[in-house]
Amino acid sequence: MGTFYDLGRAVVGGWMGGAWLSHDPVQNRDLIWGGEFGQEGANLFAVDVASGNVVEEQRIGAREFSITVDPESGVIWIYNYHGLNQPGNILQSWHPKTGQLSYHGFPLLSGHRFVGALLGQDGRLYLGTHPFGHLVSFDPSAETWSDYGCQAPEPVVPGQHIWCRPLAFNADGEIICQINRVPPHEFIAFNPQTGETRKLEESPDLP
């Protein structure tokens, strides 16, 4: 059966993420958001810029996350990079009217995780995934997901890890994504109106 020895407490790592700035229109205050990440979970917190006090704190069921801020409403979109388990890889939001988290699930994909997001003028949140390089969107008004498929230019090597990172919108309303798999990185432009993707031959001049 073997012999077990007590070697004491295991080392638990911790690191910080952020900062993200938002304005809370309900309390009329500017907030700096940060993340406290660790192997046992993560905390989302906000510091009031004027007072320096921590005024919001939420437990996130993941090891690490990132944030996209809606500057008009003050809504915070939280998308997880590393779930403590598969349900940890979900989209959440914090609304200044309630001060609480809402859970929005995950698109109908298996084995993906979020690696970046952009808020569109159409109100949708566009997110990229790893390891299959998909671009998806979430419509808050209908609480529905759309999957636009793998954005990596051909050829796609079976089993290869692909990161799709939404970076910005160009003047034509296309979503510019950086595709990471092997150096050098590639860039594509996705048109949310037509669903068409084109490869960019040169690095884009991002706003």
Q: What is the DSSP string of 179-201?
A: EESSSSPEEEEEETTTTEEEEES
DSSP strand pairing (54-60 vs 29-38): unpaired
Top-confidence residue, 163 or 2: 163
* Sign of the C-alpha dihedral computed for residues 148, 149, 155 and 161 taken in this order: positive
Range 126-151 average pLDDT = 96
Q: What is the largest CA-CA distance in the chain?
A: 66
Strands (E), the chain: 14-24, 29-38, 42-48, 54-60, 62-69, 76-83, 91-95, 100-105, 113-119, 125-130, 134-139, 144-150, 163-169, 175-180, 186-191, 196-200
Question: Can you give the pLDDT at residue 191?
Answer: 96
Question: Can you give the pLDDT at residue 182?
Answer: 79
Range 48-63 average pLDDT = 93
Top-confidence residue, 46 or 38: 46
Question: Can you give the pLDDT at residue 27?
Answer: 94
Start-to-end C-alpha separation, the chain: 62
Range 51-63 average pLDDT = 92
Q: Residues 99-111: pLDDT tens digits?
A: 999 999 889 888 8
Question: Can you give the pLDDT at residue 18?
Answer: 85
Question: Can you give the pLDDT at residue 45?
Answer: 96
Residue whose tokens read 């109106």: 193
Of the listed ranges 8-22, 30-44, 119-133, 154-168, the least confidently predicted one is: 8-22
Mean predicted lDDT score pLDDT of the chain: 90
Question: Can you give the pLDDT at residue 86?
Answer: 55
* Sign of the C-alpha dihedral computed for residues 33, 126, 62 and 185 taken in this order: negative
pTM of the model: 0.88
- At 122, the pLDDT band (50, 70, 90 cuts) reads very high
